[in-house]
Amino acid sequence: MLIIGLYLLAMLAHAGVAMSARDALRYRTEADPHGLIADMRQQLDKLGGSAAPAQERDLLWLMGTAAVNVNDDTALTEALLRLDSLAAARHYDLAAASAGFLRSRHLIASGNGDGISEALRAAAKVQDATDPKIIAWAKYNLCDAYAMSERASGAMPLCEQAQDAYRALGDTWSLAEAENDQGVNFAGLNQPEKAIELYQRSRQHFASLGAEQMVAMVGDNLAQMYLKVGRAKEALLLSQASLAQEQATGRISDALVSRANIALDYATLGQSARALSTISAAVDDARAAKMDGLLPELLERRSRMSEQAGQPRQALDDAREVIRLLGERNATTLHSDEVSLEARYATRENELRIQTLEHQNRLQELALKTAQAEAAEHVESQQRQALVGMLTKGVSVALILIAGLLYLLLRAQRRYAAELRVQALRDPLTGVDNRRAFMQRATALLGDDHAPRLTHVLMLIDFDHFKRVNDSAGHPQGDRVLSMVADYLSCAIVDVGHIARIGGEEFAVLCPRLGADAGLRLAETLRAGVAALSLPAAVPLDHITISIGVALFDGDRCHDLGSWMRAADAALYSAKSFGRNRVVASSLLH
């Protein structure tokens, strides 16, 4: 297998492709994963105990990445055990983080656990690193975990930071991976044009390295966006090309996703029988391969295609199985949340419940359609056979009543889901918007092409020495102070902006069209107002103060939400550095 790897490098060099030896190995995790796993084992066995920690970690990371790509549980388990052993024996945090990120990818791909929490724990292992490459690597892996978990609002700033870091490092391969993930985020936010732009940039970067299989892989993501904008024929060609690559390299999970996309392409092109046949075969193969993480999505897609094809019974059966599978998955995730870092995200349980309710609503809709169809069939049978007995009439009335009850239940569930959506956007302690609501509101504001952009003001607010409150009076009193200050801030900005709690003691104030001068005056009013608040008697401090960083959206350096938040964060950092209890404006205001 080493000969194959050298041959691949030689061919790339002969073709004049600017792919480094490191990139060629990363390429093989996708293009030749089984061969790479064998090569890594051979090199590790040859080195024995003489390998330097960094060298051993690099080999195991490549091996584990390839194993995740082809669902090789044996190779993945071996890589994880050896990384854990290396981390313990050498006190090597990078090895521990590598094992954590591999576990996160496996959990997300299989749908059998909370991959986000695993990724957060892995990133915490290297949070004090100073090496730009390690920092960029951790940012990207967090970005990837959030993106693959369909949590675009959490992924977008991480993916943007990873892109910036990889541009600075000149790492084209990693930049292309981060751009692909950012495309996934825009797709999740239903912004197909922006997703297309990111996917095309990713493909261009991979093409510049000669990584044609990666070009095809990203092409499958691009195909989904082409389908959304009415380019179904182009989408079908891209997905078929991606499927051929994935089947050739044994990437079962990716191949199943491509086949599901191809089925959707056929359905859009009016080939309903071919679409149903394709998605049904994908469902059967997912069951055979025990790819439980993909089954809900595949069954949901088949359910909708069956409904459109006039097969409500099949649609209902698939929808019921989706409910069962999601219930099992959510139970696992919620249990993991109780013992993981996800305790910091109080809305996670609501999000999962909303997801379940939405699928239950779908189940009720299909049950209603099935009941209506059965009622219609029964009436037809009555007319055909001319049987007008009391028993038959009773059955008809019962079917109609059942349909009515199902309709009422569906309406009640929809109202409940709407209430939960509101709860999912509120911070449970202070009652103001949470980070998710802030990201949605800010993204919508910047996405409004008709709104004047040069006057939007963003403030990032952080408490000064808040630990003193918790240490002196206890966390319950600390929570009380947080709520009290949040109430004051909410009242003070009610007519001009929106406030959100985006971290432990950190708040954001978003003021559309307020302007620089008014924004700075408001920030100073908020700072002075908090300092003048009377604290509860149980808190043995005279007052509490805040520091505020202010940034104006200028459309140039602050051209998107990520750069805008970084500008405000830099100003907040300056306020802290200059002594706290002050307002500092980003240089972009001047």
Does residue 307 have an active-site annotation?
Answer: no
Q: CA-CA distance, 100 to 83, in Å (whole number)?
A: 9
To which H or E segment does residue 535 belong? none
Among residues 56, 179, 246, 505, which one is catalytic?
505
**SS3 assignment, position 512:** coil
Confirm if 266 and 258 have CB atoms less than 8 A apart.
no
Q: CA-CA distance, 178 to 167, in Å (whole number)?
A: 11
Sheet strands side by side (includes 498-501): 433-434, 498-501, 506-511, 457-463, 546-552, 583-585
Q: CA-CA distance, 470 to 334, in Å (whole number)?
A: 28
To which H or E segment does residue 309 belong? none
Confirm if 375 and 401 have CB atoms less than 8 A apart.
no
In single-letter form, the type of residue at position 190 comes to N
Selection from 249, 275, 313 nearest residue 28 by Cα: 249
User: What does R_g of the chain's alpha carbons equal in angstroms?
Assistant: 27
Selection from 300, 229, 241 nearest residue 268 by Cα: 229
Q: CA-CA distance, 124 to 27, in Å (whole number)?
A: 28
Positive or negative torsion for Cα 127, 131, 136, 141: negative
Q: Tell me the CA distances in angstroms from 116 to 62, 72, 83, 144, one per residue in order.
A: 21, 21, 20, 10
Strands 583-585 and 546-552: parallel
Cβ neighbors of 72 (< 8 A, separation 6 or more) are 33, 34, 37, 66
Cβ neighbors of 313 (< 8 A, separation 6 or more) are 370
Token pair listed for 200: 């095309």
Selection from 434, 433, 543, 549 nearest residue 481 by Cα: 543
Q: Environment class of residue 89 by beta-carbon count within 10 Å: exposed (0-12), middle (13-18) or buried (19+)? A: exposed
Question: Which runs of E-coded beta strand occur in 197-311?
Answer: none
Strands 433-434 and 546-552: unpaired
In single-letter form, the type of residue at position 271 comes to Q
Residues annotated as part of the active site: 505
